[in-house]
Amino acid sequence: MAARPALAATGLHLEDSLSGNHYQELFRHSSDFVCTLNLQGGLTSVNPAGERLTGYTSQELLATRFYQLLDQASRDKAYEMLLEQFGGGPSRPLDLLVRTKTGRRIDVTFSTRLLFRQGRPHWVLGMIRPSGAADGQPFDEADADVRDPLTGLLNTTGLTRLLQAELASNPYRPLAIVLIKIQGLRLVNQALGFAAGDRLIETIARRLTKLLDSGQAAGRIGGNSFALIWPGQASAPDLEARARRLLHHARLPLDWEGSDMYANAGVGIALYPRDAQDAVTLLRHAETATEDARRTDAPVFYVPTGATQKLELNASLHRALENGELRLRYQPQADNRGRLECMEVLLGWQHPGFGLLPARDFLPVAEESGFIVALDQWVLRQAGSRIRAWQRSGLPPVRLSVNVSARQFDSVEFVPQVVAALEDTGLDPAWLELEVTEHAVMRDLHESSRRMKLLRSLGIRFAIDDFGTGYSSLSYLKRLPVDTVKIDRTFVEGIELPAGSLELVQSIIDMVHLLGMKVVAEGVENLRQWRLLAEAGCDRMQGHLLGLPVEEQLAEELLRSPGRRLLT
C-alpha cells in the first residue's frame, strides 16, 4: 500500500493536468512534440509540433501506437522505462530514434509523466524534443547550419548527423557511403568565372538528387565533393554499376553561354561495417578511395592500405612477378561490321589466396611504389612474344593494344625500353598499339610529342585512352602523332536513351575523323548501342557485347574463327 503514494508522486492527476485553457494553449503552441498515450502505447492526443516533426497528420498519429514511430532498439528502451515507471520507478529522459513518414531518423529525448485518475495510472504524458534542440528550438534539416546554401543539400554537419543516426538506429544493417569528387572545378572558376563553377555544382547536385531512391540521402561536403548514403545490403558489382550511373550523369555536358562545359569526377565507396563503424571514419575512407579513383575510370572501393599493408602488397607483387602469378587477358575490339580488328591487353594477378584479381586492385600501389614500370615492361614483352608465337603458328595477325602507365611514359627510359622489347621479341612494330591517357601526355606536351614521334617513326601506333575524362579537348591532338582516340565508356553508357549523349558522341567522332584519326568506343553493352555507334561512323568498338577479357587459349580460338566475326 505504501508504493501507491510514491507512484503518484512521480506523476500528475488527470483531473488537474490537461484541463483548462492555459494547459490547452501550452499544449497547442509548444515547439516540442507533446502527446498523451494510453497504457497500451496508443497515442490519444498529439499537438501540431508532433505533425511537423514526424510528417504524419494528427489523424494518422492517433491511429498509431507510439512504439511504431521508433526503431527497434528505441522501442525496447521506451517499453522498459515505462514498465519501471508503472512499478514506482522514477521518470527519466531517454535518448531515442524516431522514424518520420519519409523514413528519416531523428535523435530525440523522450520525457514522460504518469497521469492518474482516482489514484491509479491512467495515461502517460510524453514530451519529445529533438536532440539537436538548442534553447528550446528543435533541430530542423532546413536550418542554415545543416544545409548547403548553394545546392540546398545537407552540408557536412547535416550529412554526418544523418549518418550517425542511421548507424545508431540500424547497427546491423549494412550501408555504403559513395563520395563523388568533381575534378577541374578550379579550372572552370579561373577560365569562366565563379558563376560558371556554381552553375556546374548546382547542376550536378540536381542530377544526383534525381537518382536517389527511397531511404537514400545526399549532401555536399567541401567545395567539390558530394556524398551519398545508400542503406541496405548490395553486392559489389551492383554497387559499382549504380556508382557508374552516377559518374555518367555527373559527366554529362552543361550548357554555359552557348558552349558545352564538362566535368570529370572520381567515385570512392566505403562500406559499413566492413571498413569502419562510425560516420566520420566512413566518410574519410570514402574520400581516400576517391584519390585512387583519379587513376582509373571505374568507381573504387576503399581498401585499408596503410603504410604497412602497402609495403606487404608491394612485396607480394614482386613475388607474384617472380613466381609467374601474373596473367595477360585479351579483350577484343571489333570494327563497325562486327569483325575482330584488335585486342587490348589487360593485366591480372592469379593470387594464391584470393583468385584472379583485376588490375585496379593492385596497380595503385604499384604506381605509388614505382614497381609499375617493371610491370609495364613485363606486359610489353609478354604481349610481343605472344603475337610472334601466334604468327609462327600460322594464325592470322592481329594488333595488340598495350596500356602505358603515366610513370613509365614520363621515364627517360621509355623509348629505349620499348625499342629493346621489340628487338628482344622480334615483333613487327606495325602490330603494336600503345595506349596512353590524356593526363599522361598533357603533363609535358612538347616532350610527349617528341617521344611519340620517335616510336611512331618505327611503325608503332598510339591511342589516347579514356578521352573525355580529362582535358576533353581535341586541340592538343593536332600536335601529337595519334592514330586512335578511345571515347570513355561514360559517354557510351545510356547512349540509346532519349536523354543520352548520342549527339555529343557524334560530334567527337566527326571531329576526330577530321583530324585523320580513328575512333574506338569503350563500354558497348548492347546491340542498340553498337548500331547507333556504327551509324555514327565509329571505327571500332569494345565492351561486353563484343567479348569479355579472355585467357590466351580463348583468344586463339577467336583468331581461328571463320571471318573472325564477333557479331553476326
Residue 24: predicted pLDDT: 66
Residue 353: predicted pLDDT: 67
Beta strands in 184-275 (DSSP E): 217-220, 225-231, 254-256, 259-261, 264-272
- What's the CATH code, domain 144-301? 3.30.70.270
Pairing verdict, β 264-272 and 300-301: parallel
Instruction: Return phi, psi of residue 369, to 5°.
Output: -85, -15
Pairing verdict, β 326-335 and 33-38: unpaired
C-alpha cell at 182: 568533381
Cα 170 from chain centre = 22
**With a cut of 50, which residues of the chain have pLDDT below it?**
1-20, 22, 133-139, 471
| Residue ranges, CATH 3.30.450.20, the chain | 3-130
C-alpha distances in Å from residue 525, one per residue of 114, 184, 431, 494: 65, 29, 27, 10
Residue 530: predicted pLDDT: 92
Burial 331-360 (b: 16+ CB within 10 A, else e): bbbbbbebebbbbbbbbbbeeeeeeebebb
Cα–Cα distance, 297 to 367 (Å, whole number): 16
| Residue ranges, CATH 3.20.20.450, the chain | 331-345+370-556
**At a CB cut-off of 8 Å and minimum separation 6, what does 185 contact?**
197, 200, 201, 223, 224, 263
Coil vs helix vs strand at 31: coil
| Residue ranges, CATH 3.30.70.270, the chain | 144-301
Q: 231, 215 in Cβ contact below 8 A?
A: yes
Cα–Cα distance, 456 to 272 (Å, whole number): 49
Length of the chain: 568
Question: In this structure, which topology does domain 331-345+370-556 adopt according to CATH?
Answer: TIM Barrel (3.20.20)
Residue 3: predicted pLDDT: 34
> In the CATH scheme, what is the homologous superfamily, with its name and number, of domain 3-130?
PAS domain (3.30.450.20)
